[in-house]
A and B are shown apart, each in its own frame.
Chain A
């Protein structure tokens, strides 16, 4: 029997319940975001892209996902 454990994280200013044990890479994929198109800040630390597959999202994490938009 497998039960899905969820954790609470804060993503771009909003609380979210997500499945526990996910790497950043998997989490981005679950949001349909291409890892090469976003920059991830985890608890105020910018994550290097080559660590997305190693870092796991933890209970209580604050995640900012940013990208480039039009601006002057």
Chain B
């Protein structure tokens, strides 16, 4: 087949960069670095995903064996924008402490604020999240806050000075996809800050549906790390995020419950 006539416009040219707190990203996919079978697969998967921003956690150095677990031995901060999280924190005080430690590492002012309120569901403690968000934003942090798919909390987080609000699609690590697209759309429609859907995406169609809601980006970890083939899944997610984003920008046709022929009804033979 000869090359198709006409445009060779790329997906990037059909979109604008994602601006989070004054930093521009081409990829709308943000990925975590946890739970991979090994670091080699992690690096290959992240490269395949096309993500520019990657999340990392702050933990004690294991003084018995330090070399393998330090993420910076495997992912260069020159190649990726590091987004430190406060995962595992159950109080505003702990989250603030972890955020300050992360900033002291010296890479950037960004933090993925996460204050968990319940062990079984890992749902956020939104009150504590708000308290921590306010404190951190006042200290000059660029806070990207993980939250519930609740409009009021999202608005409050924006008011608190968050540079991005990150409602969940469904619980962390659940792979259930977007359980409440209405809420996600409403949050996106009402906030000026970027809305990144964080947590719950299980497979490529989930990522695509998420982006079709019009949100600015999607953050995932387990969907890649726990796939049988993380590198393949990362490729799939990269395409799914772009597909969903462009479908949103393109504006879908109205859905209807009756068929409408695509070919002319006139000009049929007798």
Contact = CB atoms under 8 A, between A and B. Distances in A.
Contact of B42 (A33, A41, A70): A70
Contacts of B33: 70-72
B147 to A, nearest CB: 15
A39 interface: yes
Interface string B26-57: 00000011111001001000000000000111
Given A70-B71, A72-B32, 11 more contacts: A11-B63, A46-B104, A67-B70, A68-B59, A68-B82, A69-B34, A70-B36, A71-B56, A71-B221, A72-B219, A72-B221
Given A12-B61, A13-B60, A71 B34 contact: yes
Interface string A43-72: 000101100000000000000111111111
Interface in B56-74: 56-61, 63, 66, 69-72
Interface of A: 11-14, 31-33, 37-39, 41, 46, 48-49, 64-72
Contact of B35 (A32, A39, A72): A72
B222 interface: yes
A48 B172 CA distance: 34
A72 B105 contact: no
Interface of B is mostly: mixed
Contacts of B60: 12-13, 64-66
B181 to A, nearest CB: 22
Given A66-B61, A67-B70, A68-B57, A39 B104 contact: yes
Contacts of B178: none
Contacts of B104: 39, 46, 48-49
B225 to A, nearest CB: 8
A68 B56 contact: yes
Nearest to B85: A71
B34 A67 contact: no
Nearest to B199: A72
A71 B61 contact: no
Nearest to B225: A72
A66 B106 CA distance: 13
A68 B58 contact: yes
B249 interface: no
B71 A33 contact: no
B63 A68 contact: no
A70 B87 CA distance: 11
Nearest to A65: B61
A49 B105 CA distance: 9
Interface in B220-264: 220-222
A72 B87 contact: yes
Contact of B101 (A32, A41, A70): A41
A12 B66 CA distance: 13
A72 B58 contact: no
B87 A71 contact: yes
Nearest to A64: B60
A33 B70 CA distance: 11
